[in-house]
């Protein structure tokens, strides 16, 4: 076994110890195919008011612009699936990923430990760690490194675990053994396309982000919900899980084992009436260190109000 293989094995073993259920590696090269797709997506305005998607265009496509002399991109998956559900079927809904503590904190801590392990075990390795915090095309790298294929809903789907997971990366100036992509197993299935109430999946593998319920309830700021979506929100107040919930591959999802992702004890018990009468004090208590804080109290109230007939 050569040094590159030894380093790769050490990194994959440590990923497992830290709770990442998959770890894949790609060469840190320019994303040529994705460059065309990103350019077209932006030109069509599918990023809506997410103007930051237009920033750092070159860095999104070339990891060597983020880390000098980058050699490898290490992609990691962390499961957040839970069988827990909100008890009141009439209550406004919240995406499973936001039930517990904000994943940015959890994953960043794991990545810092991971990077320190590399320094201690392998040596002076330059690099950076990322989780939704920089211009990194995480799904493209996850696909390239064989963690899953890009589904028709533009989520990475793993054949053993479905798609309820977070994606993180380490870009390193260390040569590692790359993994290859896997086959697309969506086949003729169109359930995610058929079930999207706002028709955000405009064609297989292409999402009009400006129509996505997650965009409308999280990314869209300081605006009243567009009237064209009235009655189409399927009672979602933060995020949306529809295209994942209907995906047949998610029958393989298994509950996570990360205590920090467990919901606040009162969150799932909240009734429709409780949400309608939500106060800022209760909001702060329920969502302390939660991803839901992104939308802020006025934003969540706006979302809840938009669901009323």
**Nearest to 163, CA basis, from 147, 145, 178:** 147
CA distances from 9 to 76, 177, 178, 304 (A): 14, 9, 11, 48
**C-alpha to C-alpha distance for 201 and 208, rounded to whole angstroms:** 6
Q: Listing from the earlier edge strand, what are the strands of the sheet with 22-27?
A: 22-27, 72-79, 165-172, 127-130
Q: How distant is the alpha carbon of residue 210 from its chain centre?
A: 17
Of the residues 29, 84, 88, 132, which is catalytic? 132
CA distances from 218 to 51, 238, 275 (A): 14, 6, 17
- Report the pLDDT value the prediction gives residue 224, as an integer from 0 to 100: 61
Q: Specify the pTM.
A: 0.95
**C-alpha to C-alpha distance for 51 and 187, rounded to whole angstroms:** 34
- Report the pLDDT value the prediction gives residue 230, as an integer from 0 to 100: 84
Give residues with Cβ within 8 angstroms of 155, minimum separation 6.
139, 163, 243, 244, 247
Q: DSSP readout, 57-122?
A: HHHHH-GGGTSTT--EEEEEEEE-------S-TTSPEE-GGGSSB-HHHHHHHHHHHHHHHHHHHT
Q: Pairing relation of β-strands 206-207 and 201-203?
A: antiparallel
- Report the pLDDT value the prediction gives residue 225, as an integer from 0 to 100: 64
Q: Give the up-direction half-sphere exposure of residue 45: CA atoms within 13 A in the CB hemisphere.
A: 4
**Residues comprising the chain, all counted:** 309
**C-alpha to C-alpha distance for 36 and 41, rounded to whole angstroms:** 9
Show pLDDT as tens, one digit a residue, over the chain (309 residues): 799 999 999 999 999 999 999 999 999 999 999 999 999 999 999 999 998 888 889 999 999 999 999 999 999 999 999 999 999 999 999 999 999 999 999 999 999 999 999 999 999 999 999 998 778 999 999 999 999 999 999 999 999 999 999 999 999 999 999 999 999 999 999 999 999 999 999 999 999 999 999 999 999 886 666 678 888 999 999 999 999 999 999 999 999 999 999 999 899 999 999 999 999 999 999 999 999 999 999 999 999 998 876
Neighbours of 33 (CB within 10 A): 10
Give residues with Cβ within 8 angstroms of 232, minimum separation 6.
197, 198
In the chain, where the domains are located: 1-304
The pair of structure tokens assigned to 278 is: 């939500």
Active-site residue flag, 132: yes
**C-alpha to C-alpha distance for 235 and 91, rounded to whole angstroms:** 8
Place of tokens 């997650």: 214
Q: Is 236 helix (H, G, I), strand (E, B) or coil?
A: strand
């Amino acid at each position: 076994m050569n040094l590159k293989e030894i380093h790769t094995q050490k990194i994959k073993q440590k990923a497992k110890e830290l709770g990442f259920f998959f770890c894949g590696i790609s060469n840190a090269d320019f994303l040529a195919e994705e460059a065309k797709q990103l350019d077209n997506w932006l030109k069509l305005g599918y990023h809506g008011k997410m103007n930051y998607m237009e920033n750092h265009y070159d860095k999104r496509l070339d990891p060597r612009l983020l880390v000098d002399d980058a050699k490898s991109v290490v992609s990691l998956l962390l499961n957040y699936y839970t069988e827990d559900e909100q008890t009141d079927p009439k209550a406004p809904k919240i995406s499973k990923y936001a039930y517990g503590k904000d994943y940015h904190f959890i994953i960043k801590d794991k990545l810092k430990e991971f990077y320190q392990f590399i320094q201690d075990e392998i040596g002076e390795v330059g690099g950076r760690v990322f989780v939704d915090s920089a211009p990194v095309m995480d799904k493209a790298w996850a696909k390239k490194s064989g963690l899953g294929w890009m589904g028709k809903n533009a989520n990475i789907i793993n054949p053993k675990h479905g798609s309820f997971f977070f994606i993180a990366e380490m870009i390193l100036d260390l040569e590692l053994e790359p993994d290859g992509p896997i086959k697309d197993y969506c086949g003729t299935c169109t359930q995610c396309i058929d079930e999207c109430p706002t028709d955000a999946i405009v064609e297989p593998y292409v999402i009009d982000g400006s129509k996505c319920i997650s965009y409308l309830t999280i990314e869209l700021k300081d605006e009243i919900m567009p009237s064209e979506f009235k009655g189409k929100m399927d009672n979602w107040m933060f995020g949306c899980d529809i295209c994942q919930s209907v995906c047949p591959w998610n029958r393989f999802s298994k509950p996570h084992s990360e205590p920090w992702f467990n919901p606040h004890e009162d969150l799932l018990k909240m009734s429709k009436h409780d949400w309608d009468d939500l106060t800022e004090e209760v909001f702060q208590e329920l969502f302390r260190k939660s991803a839901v804080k992104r939308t802020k109290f006025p934003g969540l109230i706006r979302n809840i109000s938009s669901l009323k007939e």
